[in-house]
């Protein structure tokens, strides 16, 4: 009798343990997601409709619909529910790095508007890069299709190819990464759902990542609401915007857009007077044209509250330092942008009040809902 009691307790404990460690598909994105499962058993299934992947329309902000052309999406890589689902999984998956320690999201943190708080991101071997990571959003509206600070990638898919093999980033090979993905219990079915084949290759992987990245859209800042006449701006913010728009003031709009270009970048390359001589030639090293030395891509001004440090080399920790640079810190060089005024005086010589107003305006471009949404 005593033995039966012990057996009962044992069975009870085993049942409890087994229910605590219930196995199943733990991926919320899968068709057979099991909310009670604690351990993923590799049975997740991803299916698309019989007619192929399901087209996904991007969620385009009102100000973009009003002022910008439709997003630029390659004909050979339309955005689909299944492709974005796969791309998101890849973006956050450390399998893409050689020692399984880093995902794209490690240096492009959602909480930082998909940017890095470090001046230089550190790769899997502990080696730091030489440029600050760029934030990832609104990239479907880069109609020039040049990516990275120096524009070396032509298209988002091409951009996504590089970090995996970069020796100071994920330091892997695509053949190795593909082998890892192919051996994974879930990826083959996800690729089949997204692209109609479970045979994985690097091009399909970057297509999926690019699809996901195109869904990262930020267009819900206070300034966007002001543009839609939903809210007013403060007098200081408005003064800052006027200063931003004035050629005889700060004159930022020529490179950074305005109310009718809500990307807040021209997606072009300029030498913004950081140095008199260059240790990093930027675009010049890509084109081979000395006239391009010291030119880097204009970054968007959206979400500056999250994207410090600033500039291609992350040399400025604060927005105040950035504004000081344009006010008094400009340095002349043979390729300095003609749009920069009073370079010989160091810049546009803003007063403390003007600097405060300009900063107030810049922060109206903060879209906290974007950061909170991922």
Partner 1 sequence: MKTTLKFSIYLLAISTFLFSCKEEEPIEPKQVEAETEVSFIFKQKYNGSEVLTSDLATTQYTNEKGNIHTISKLQYLVSNITLHRTDGSEVDLGGYNFVDIDQPLTRFYTPSVRVPEGKYSGISMTFGFDEEDNRDGAYTDLNAVSWSWPMMIGGGYHFLKFEGMFQDNTGSMKGFAYHNGTASKMENGSRVHEANHFRVRLWDYNGGFEVKSGERLNIDIDMNIEEWFKNPVLWDLNQYHMMLMPNYTAQKIMNNNGKSVFALGTIAPEL
Site residues, partner 1 (CB under 8 A) = 66-69, 141, 143, 242, 245-248, 253-261, 263, 266, 289, 291-292, 332, 334-344
157 closest CA partner among 195, 189, 188: 195
CA dihedral 271, 277, 282, 284 (to 10 degrees): 90
Kindly state the smallest distance separating residue 318's Cβ from partner 1, in Å: 26
CB of 338 to partner 1, least distance (A): 3
Q: How far is the CB of 102 from partner 1 (least distance, A)?
A: 34
Q: Which is nearer to partner 1, 7 or 291 (CB)?
A: 291
Give least dist CB 246 to partner 1, A.
7
Q: Are 365 and 301 in contact (CB under 8 A)?
A: yes
Residue (133 or 301) nearer to partner 1, CB: 301
Minimum distance, C-beta of residue 26 to partner 1, in the bound complex (Å): 42
Lookup result for tokens 């007619």: 51
Q: Is the dihedral of CA 261, 264, 268, 270 positive or negative?
A: positive
Q: CB 337 → partner 1: shortest distance, Å? A: 7
- Shortest Å distance, C-beta 254 to partner 1: 7
Nearest residue (CB) to partner 1, 72 versus 117: 72
Distance, CA of 66 to CA of 241 (rounded, Å): 20
With respect to partner 1, which residue has the nearer C-beta, 51 or 248?
248
Least distance to partner 1, CB of residue 293, Å: 10
* Smallest gap from residue 252 Cβ to partner 1 (A): 11
Closer Cβ to partner 1, 88 or 331, answer by number: 331
25 or 283, CB closer to partner 1?
283
3-state secondary structure the chain: CHHHHHHHHHHHHHHHHHHHCCEECCCCCCCCCCCCCCEECCCCCCCCECCECCECCCCCCHHHHHHCCCCCCCCCCCCEHHHHHHHHHHHCCHHHCCCCCCCHHHHCEHHHCCECCCCCCECCCCCECCCCCCCCCCHHHCCCCEECCCCCEECHHHHHHHHHHCCCCCCCCHHHHHHHHHHCCCHHHHHHHHHCCCCCCHHHHHHHHHHHHHCCCCCCCHHHHHHCCCCCCCHHHHHHHHHHHCCCCCCCHHHHCCCCCCCCCCCCEECCCCCCCCCCCEHHHHHCCHHHCCEEECCCCCCCCCCCCECCCCCECCHHHHHHHHHHCCCCCCCCCCCCCCHHHCCCCCCHHHHHHHHHHHHCCCCHHHHHCC
Nearer to partner 1, 87 or 262 (CB): 262
Identity of the residue, 126 or 338, whose beta carbon is nearer to partner 1 in the bound complex: 338
Dihedral sign, CA of 201, 205, 115, 139? Answer: positive
Please identify, using beta-carbon distances, which residue of 21 and 66 lies nearer to partner 1. Answer: 66
User: Minimum distance between the CB of residue 258 and partner 1, rounded to whole angstroms?
Assistant: 6
CB closer to partner 1, 63 vs 132: 63
């Amino acid at each position: 009798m005593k033995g039966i009691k012990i057996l009962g307790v044992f069975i009870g404990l085993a049942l409890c343990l087994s229910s605590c460690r219930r196995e199943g598909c733990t991926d919320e994105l899968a068709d057979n997601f099991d909310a009670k499962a604690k351990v993923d058993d590799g049975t997740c299934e991803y299916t698309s409709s019989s007619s192929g992947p399901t087209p996904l329309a991007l969620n385009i902000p009102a100000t973009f619909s009003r002022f910008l052309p439709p997003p630029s999406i390659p004909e050979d890589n339309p955005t689909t529910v299944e492709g974005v689902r796969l791309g998101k999984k890849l973006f956050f998956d450390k399998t893409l790095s050689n020692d399984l320690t880093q995902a794209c999201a490690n240096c492009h943190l959602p909480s930082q508007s998909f940017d890095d708080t470090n001046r230089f991101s550190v790769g899997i071997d502990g080696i730091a890069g030489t440029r600050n990571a760029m934030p990832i959003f609104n990239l479907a509206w880069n109609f020039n299709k040049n990516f990275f600070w120096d524009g070396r990638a032509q298209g988002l898919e091409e951009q996504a190819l590089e970090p995996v093999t970069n020796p100071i980033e994920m330091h892997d090979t695509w053949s190795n990464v593909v082998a890892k993905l192919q051996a994974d219990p879930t990826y083959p079915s996800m690729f089949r759902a997204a692209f109609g084949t479970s045979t994985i290759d690097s091009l399909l992987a970057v297509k999926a990542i690019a699809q996901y990245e195109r869904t990262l859209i930020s267009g819900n800042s206070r300034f966007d609401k002001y543009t839609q006449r939903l809210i007013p701006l403060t007098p200081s913010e408005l003064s800052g915007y006027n200063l931003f728009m004035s050629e005889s003031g700060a004159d930022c709009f020529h490179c950074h857009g305005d109310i009718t270009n809500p990307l807040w970048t021209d997606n072009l390359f300029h030498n913004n007077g950081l140095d008199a001589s260059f240790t990093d030639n930027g675009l010049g090293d890509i084109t081979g044209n000395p006239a391009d030395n010291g030119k880097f891509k204009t970054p968007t001004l959206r979400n500056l509250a999250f994207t410090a440090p600033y500039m291609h080399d992350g040399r400025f920790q604060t927005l105040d330092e950035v504004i000081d640079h344009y006010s008094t810190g400009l340095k002349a060089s043979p390729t300095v942008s003609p749009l920069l005024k009073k370079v010989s005086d160091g810049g546009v010589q803003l007063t403390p009040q003007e600097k405060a107003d300009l900063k107030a305006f810049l922060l109206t471009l903060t879209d906290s809902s974007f950061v909170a949404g991922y």
